[in-house]
Amino acid sequence: MNAQVPKPFEEIVGYLEGKKKIVLMGCGGCATVFHTGGIKEVNEMAEKLAKQGKEITGKIGLPFAVFACYLPMSSMLLNEHKKEIQECDAILMQSCGDGAQAVRRYLEEEMGIVKPLYPANNALGFSSGGPTSFKEECQACGECELGKTFGICPFVQCPKGLLNGPCGGTTADGKCEVDPTRDCAWAMIYRRAEELSQVDKLLEIVAPHQWSKAVRPRRLEVEPIDLMEELKGTKRVIEQLGV
């Protein structure tokens, strides 16, 4: 998921200075999980902005699992709210930067609407876990090295991103020199190698990483999925699990 936190309200008010009619849009994905843009947060934002004298002309709350960044889903709602969007002075996106930019792009390229669009959140990037604690574990480098590092990514867990073992700064109790409250990434990797009886694998030299795979911006073309069929499948699995 893309972890995120809300921006300070004053910053948002600053963006909206001189703008009267505001359309709010949230996201039913990560922003719902992180309480930064679920339907509840969109309603709360509407109330707070109304107190600032703003006229909230549109509230586009996305139900859970409807992603702002996934246009086959979010575009349905954008088209539904076309009139409010056309008439507003600004759009406030309660999503990550991906959702915000996907919406901006769709409005411009597919709907021919050019409006000021502002972010309400600061995205922190990939993270995993939940429902309460989340940890950053993958940086989407484009060339996964987990197969050589016992399933723990040293690019994320080690501040130096060392691929071939720990630096000399590990403390005697296996903590990181940069943040002694954290375990050394390689102490964790070594522990797993021991548990899997594969310590000798650590003798293999991992070649320099292909950073060319991370040159931005990256683009990808894929075959579209059948959205309705996939959703039916999800429903079926949940029912089978008896949740």
Partner 1 sequence: MTMKAGTNLEKVLESGAFAVTAEAGPAKGAVTSVIERKGEMLKPCCDAVNVTDNQSAVVRMSSWSSCVLLKRLGLDPVMQIVVRDRNRLAIQSDVLGAVAMGIQNILCLSGDHQAIGNHPDAKGVYDIDSIQLIQMLKGMRDEKKFQCGEEISGEVPIFIGAAANPFAAPFEYRVLRLAKKVKAGADFIQTQAIFDVAKFAKWMEMVRDRGLDKQTHILAGLVPIKSVGMARYMKDYVSGVYVPDEVVTRLEGAKNAKEEGIKICLETIEQLKEIQGVHGIHIMAVAWEEMVPHIVEQAKLLPRPVV
**Nearer Cβ to partner 1, position 104 or 209?**
209
Does residue 160 bind partner 1 (CB under 8 A)?
yes
**Residue carrying structure tokens 């703003």:** 54
Return the DSSP state at 141.
Answer: -
Neighbours of 9 (CB within 10 A): 13
**Nearer Cβ to partner 1, position 52 or 171?**
171
**Minimum CB–partner distance for residue 193 and partner 1 (Å):** 9
Using CB under 8 A, pick the residue from 31, 60, 90, 163 that binds partner 1.
163
- DSSP-derived 3-state class of residue 82: helix
**Nearer Cβ to partner 1, position 73 or 184?**
184
Using CB under 8 A, pick the residue from 167, 192, 214, 231 that binds partner 1.
167
Strand pairing class (117-119; 21-25): unpaired
| Size of site (CB under 8 A) for partner 1 | 32
**Residue carrying structure tokens 């995120």:** 4
**Nearer Cβ to partner 1, position 71 or 206?**
206
Interaction with partner 1 in 45-104: which residues (CB under 8 A)?
none
Using CB under 8 A, pick the residue from 159, 192, 214, 231 that binds partner 1.
159
Using CB under 8 A, pick the residue from 63, 72, 130, 169 that binds partner 1.
169
State the virtual CA torsion across 33, 77, 95, 98 in degrees, nearest 10.
110
Q: Which residue, among 214, 218, 96, 216, has the nearest Cα to 155 in the 3D structure?
A: 214
Interaction with partner 1 in 175-214: which residues (CB under 8 A)?
177-178, 184, 186-187, 190-191, 199, 202-203, 205-209, 211
CA–chain centroid gap for 210, Å, is: 24
- DSSP-derived 3-state class of residue 71: helix
Q: Transcribe 216-231 into DSSP letters.
A: SSP----PPP-HHHHH
Sites of contact with partner 1 (CB under 8 A): 159-174, 177-178, 184, 186-187, 190-191, 199, 202-203, 205-209, 211
